[in-house]
Amino acid sequence: MFRDGPGDTCSAGSYPSHVEGYQRDSGSRLSELVAAFSLATDLGLGQPVEHALRSWVIAARLGDRMGLSADDREWLYYVVMLAWVGCVADTPVVATWFGDDIEFRRAGLGVDRAGLPMLGLALRHVGAGSPARRRLRLGAELVMTRGAGVEQGLLSHCLTTARMAERLGLGGEVCDPLQQVFTRWDGTGVPSGIAGEAIAPLVTDTLPRTC
Protein backbone atom coordinates (compact mmCIF):
# COMPACT_ATOMS: atom_id res chain seq x y z
CA MET A 1 0.00 0.00 0.00
CA PHE A 2 1.24 3.52 -0.76
CA ARG A 3 -0.02 7.07 -0.94
CA ASP A 4 -0.53 9.49 -3.79
CA GLY A 5 -0.50 12.71 -1.86
CA PRO A 6 -2.00 13.48 1.55
CA GLY A 7 -4.89 11.24 2.47
CA ASP A 8 -5.02 9.49 -0.90
CA THR A 9 -4.24 5.81 -0.39
CA CYS A 10 -3.69 3.35 -3.23
CA SER A 11 -3.59 -0.41 -2.87
CA ALA A 12 -4.39 -3.58 -4.77
CA GLY A 13 -8.06 -3.02 -4.02
CA SER A 14 -8.24 0.64 -4.90
CA TYR A 15 -6.99 3.32 -7.28
CA PRO A 16 -6.27 7.06 -7.08
CA SER A 17 -9.55 8.72 -6.14
CA HIS A 18 -9.17 11.62 -8.58
CA VAL A 19 -9.56 9.25 -11.56
CA GLU A 20 -13.31 8.85 -11.88
CA GLY A 21 -13.39 6.43 -14.80
CA TYR A 22 -16.47 5.09 -16.52
CA GLN A 23 -19.33 3.44 -14.64
CA ARG A 24 -20.17 -0.07 -15.82
CA ASP A 25 -23.48 -1.94 -15.53
CA SER A 26 -21.95 -4.17 -12.86
CA GLY A 27 -21.45 -1.13 -10.68
CA SER A 28 -17.66 -1.27 -10.95
CA ARG A 29 -15.66 1.52 -12.53
CA LEU A 30 -13.38 1.04 -15.49
CA SER A 31 -10.46 2.48 -13.55
CA GLU A 32 -10.86 -0.29 -10.97
CA LEU A 33 -10.97 -2.94 -13.68
CA VAL A 34 -7.80 -1.58 -15.27
CA ALA A 35 -6.09 -1.48 -11.88
CA ALA A 36 -6.94 -5.18 -11.45
CA PHE A 37 -5.49 -5.96 -14.90
CA SER A 38 -2.30 -4.19 -13.90
CA LEU A 39 -1.68 -6.59 -11.02
CA ALA A 40 -1.41 -9.51 -13.44
CA THR A 41 0.81 -7.40 -15.66
CA ASP A 42 3.17 -6.82 -12.74
CA LEU A 43 3.71 -10.57 -12.46
CA GLY A 44 4.38 -10.84 -16.19
CA LEU A 45 7.07 -8.19 -15.86
CA GLY A 46 8.71 -9.93 -12.93
CA GLN A 47 7.94 -6.94 -10.73
CA PRO A 48 6.44 -6.64 -7.23
CA VAL A 49 2.67 -6.31 -7.06
CA GLU A 50 1.47 -2.71 -7.63
CA HIS A 51 4.45 -1.80 -9.80
CA ALA A 52 2.09 -0.32 -12.41
CA LEU A 53 0.14 1.55 -9.72
CA ARG A 54 3.37 3.08 -8.46
CA SER A 55 4.18 4.08 -12.04
CA TRP A 56 0.83 5.87 -12.18
CA VAL A 57 1.60 7.79 -8.98
CA ILE A 58 4.87 9.01 -10.53
CA ALA A 59 3.10 9.90 -13.78
CA ALA A 60 0.36 11.76 -11.89
CA ARG A 61 2.92 13.89 -10.08
CA LEU A 62 4.69 14.64 -13.35
CA GLY A 63 1.32 15.55 -14.83
CA ASP A 64 0.69 17.97 -11.98
CA ARG A 65 4.00 19.70 -12.63
CA MET A 66 3.21 19.90 -16.33
CA GLY A 67 -0.18 21.41 -15.62
CA LEU A 68 -2.22 18.68 -17.32
CA SER A 69 -5.94 19.26 -17.58
CA ALA A 70 -8.35 16.94 -15.72
CA ASP A 71 -9.17 15.15 -18.98
CA ASP A 72 -5.51 14.65 -19.91
CA ARG A 73 -4.81 13.39 -16.42
CA GLU A 74 -7.52 10.76 -16.80
CA TRP A 75 -6.22 9.67 -20.21
CA LEU A 76 -2.74 9.47 -18.72
CA TYR A 77 -3.99 7.06 -16.06
CA TYR A 78 -5.23 4.61 -18.68
CA VAL A 79 -2.14 4.94 -20.87
CA VAL A 80 0.21 4.21 -17.96
CA MET A 81 -1.87 1.40 -16.51
CA LEU A 82 -2.51 -0.36 -19.83
CA ALA A 83 0.92 0.17 -21.41
CA TRP A 84 2.21 -3.30 -20.50
CA VAL A 85 -1.01 -5.30 -20.72
CA GLY A 86 -0.07 -6.16 -24.31
CA CYS A 87 2.83 -8.30 -23.13
CA VAL A 88 0.54 -11.31 -23.59
CA ALA A 89 0.76 -10.68 -27.35
CA ASP A 90 4.54 -10.68 -27.58
CA THR A 91 5.17 -13.46 -25.04
CA PRO A 92 5.52 -16.20 -27.72
CA VAL A 93 8.09 -14.08 -29.57
CA VAL A 94 10.02 -13.18 -26.42
CA ALA A 95 10.01 -16.78 -25.22
CA THR A 96 11.22 -18.04 -28.61
CA TRP A 97 14.17 -15.67 -28.64
CA PHE A 98 15.02 -15.34 -24.95
CA GLY A 99 13.59 -18.37 -23.15
CA ASP A 100 12.30 -17.00 -19.86
CA ASP A 101 10.11 -14.09 -20.97
CA ILE A 102 9.47 -12.86 -17.43
CA GLU A 103 13.17 -12.70 -16.58
CA PHE A 104 13.95 -10.95 -19.87
CA ARG A 105 11.30 -8.28 -19.23
CA ARG A 106 12.46 -7.84 -15.65
CA ALA A 107 16.04 -7.26 -16.79
CA GLY A 108 14.88 -4.98 -19.62
CA LEU A 109 13.21 -2.46 -17.32
CA GLY A 110 16.62 -1.28 -16.16
CA VAL A 111 18.20 -0.96 -19.61
CA ASP A 112 18.01 1.71 -22.31
CA ARG A 113 15.98 -0.14 -24.97
CA ALA A 114 18.08 0.93 -27.95
CA GLY A 115 21.61 0.71 -29.30
CA LEU A 116 24.40 -1.14 -27.52
CA PRO A 117 22.65 -1.45 -24.13
CA MET A 118 19.68 -3.22 -25.72
CA LEU A 119 21.94 -5.37 -27.92
CA GLY A 120 23.94 -6.40 -24.87
CA LEU A 121 20.76 -7.33 -22.99
CA ALA A 122 19.49 -9.35 -25.95
CA LEU A 123 22.74 -11.26 -26.45
CA ARG A 124 23.02 -12.07 -22.75
CA HIS A 125 19.55 -13.60 -22.74
CA VAL A 126 19.17 -14.99 -26.25
CA GLY A 127 18.31 -18.68 -26.18
CA ALA A 128 18.40 -18.81 -22.38
CA GLY A 129 18.02 -22.38 -21.17
CA SER A 130 18.88 -23.84 -24.59
CA PRO A 131 21.99 -25.75 -25.69
CA ALA A 132 24.99 -23.64 -26.67
CA ARG A 133 24.59 -24.38 -30.40
CA ARG A 134 21.02 -23.09 -30.42
CA ARG A 135 22.03 -20.00 -28.46
CA LEU A 136 24.76 -19.22 -30.98
CA ARG A 137 22.37 -19.71 -33.90
CA LEU A 138 19.71 -17.47 -32.36
CA GLY A 139 22.31 -14.84 -31.48
CA ALA A 140 23.63 -14.75 -35.04
CA GLU A 141 20.10 -14.56 -36.46
CA LEU A 142 19.20 -11.77 -34.05
CA VAL A 143 22.18 -9.69 -35.16
CA MET A 144 21.79 -10.40 -38.89
CA THR A 145 18.08 -9.51 -38.92
CA ARG A 146 18.65 -6.52 -36.61
CA GLY A 147 15.99 -7.86 -34.29
CA ALA A 148 13.19 -7.85 -36.86
CA GLY A 149 11.36 -10.68 -35.10
CA VAL A 150 11.50 -8.89 -31.76
CA GLU A 151 10.30 -5.67 -33.37
CA GLN A 152 7.30 -7.51 -34.81
CA GLY A 153 6.50 -8.79 -31.34
CA LEU A 154 6.57 -5.25 -29.94
CA LEU A 155 4.26 -4.09 -32.71
CA SER A 156 1.83 -6.86 -31.76
CA HIS A 157 2.10 -5.73 -28.14
CA CYS A 158 1.14 -2.15 -29.02
CA LEU A 159 -1.68 -3.20 -31.32
CA THR A 160 -3.15 -5.58 -28.75
CA THR A 161 -3.05 -2.97 -26.01
CA ALA A 162 -4.68 -0.34 -28.19
CA ARG A 163 -7.40 -2.75 -29.31
CA MET A 164 -8.10 -3.70 -25.73
CA ALA A 165 -8.44 -0.05 -24.76
CA GLU A 166 -10.81 0.44 -27.67
CA ARG A 167 -12.99 -2.46 -26.56
CA LEU A 168 -13.08 -0.97 -23.07
CA GLY A 169 -14.67 2.11 -24.59
CA LEU A 170 -11.61 4.36 -24.51
CA GLY A 171 -11.00 6.75 -27.40
CA GLY A 172 -8.06 7.91 -29.45
CA GLU A 173 -6.72 9.95 -26.53
CA VAL A 174 -5.69 6.60 -25.00
CA CYS A 175 -5.53 4.20 -27.97
CA ASP A 176 -3.14 6.33 -30.03
CA PRO A 177 -0.50 6.81 -27.30
CA LEU A 178 -0.69 3.10 -26.46
CA GLN A 179 0.51 2.33 -29.99
CA GLN A 180 3.60 4.46 -29.36
CA VAL A 181 4.84 3.24 -25.98
CA PHE A 182 8.06 1.88 -27.51
CA THR A 183 8.81 4.91 -29.70
CA ARG A 184 11.86 7.11 -29.16
CA TRP A 185 12.41 10.80 -29.82
CA ASP A 186 15.12 10.03 -32.41
CA GLY A 187 12.90 7.60 -34.33
CA THR A 188 14.87 4.47 -33.43
CA GLY A 189 12.06 2.90 -31.41
CA VAL A 190 9.01 0.85 -32.41
CA PRO A 191 7.22 1.58 -34.68
CA SER A 192 10.37 2.78 -36.44
CA GLY A 193 10.37 6.22 -37.99
CA ILE A 194 7.94 7.84 -35.55
CA ALA A 195 9.94 10.59 -33.89
CA GLY A 196 9.91 14.01 -32.27
CA GLU A 197 6.66 15.93 -32.36
CA ALA A 198 4.91 13.01 -34.05
CA ILE A 199 4.95 11.13 -30.74
CA ALA A 200 1.98 11.69 -28.45
CA PRO A 201 2.86 14.11 -25.62
CA LEU A 202 1.56 11.69 -22.98
CA VAL A 203 4.23 9.24 -24.16
CA THR A 204 7.17 11.60 -24.47
CA ASP A 205 6.47 13.44 -21.20
CA THR A 206 5.62 10.59 -18.84
CA LEU A 207 6.19 6.99 -19.97
CA PRO A 208 10.02 7.13 -20.28
CA ARG A 209 10.15 8.17 -16.63
CA THR A 210 7.60 5.77 -15.21
CA CYS A 211 7.63 2.42 -17.06
Q: What local confidence, expressed as pLDDT, does residue 211 receive? A: 52
Q: Are 76 and 60 in contact (CB under 8 A)?
A: yes
Report the SS3 class of residue 30.
helix
* pLDDT of res. 165: 94
Q: What is the pLDDT of residues 58-114, one digit of tens each?
A: 999 988 988 989 999 999 999 999 998 888 788 888 999 999 988 898 888 888 877
The pLDDT value given to residue 4: 42
Question: What is the sign of the dihedral through the CA atoms of 190, 191, 193 and 195?
Answer: negative
Q: Is residue 206 over pLDDT 80?
A: no
pLDDT at residue 208 tops 70 = no
Q: What is the pLDDT of residue 210?
A: 53
Q: What is the mean pLDDT of the chain?
A: 82
Nearest-angstrom CA–CA distance, 146 and 7: 49
pLDDT higher at 29 or 10: 29
101-108 and 115-125 are packed helices; what angle lies between their axes, rounded to 10 degrees? 150
Average pLDDT in the 32-56 region?
Answer: 88
Q: Which amino acid is at 180?
A: Q
| Burial letters 30-66, b for 16+ CB under 10 A, else e | bbebbbebbeebbebbbbeebbbbbbbbebbeebeee
Counting residues of the chain whose pLDDT is more than 90, the rounded percentage is 37
Predicted local distance difference test score (pLDDT) of residue 171: 94
CA gyration radius, the chain = 18
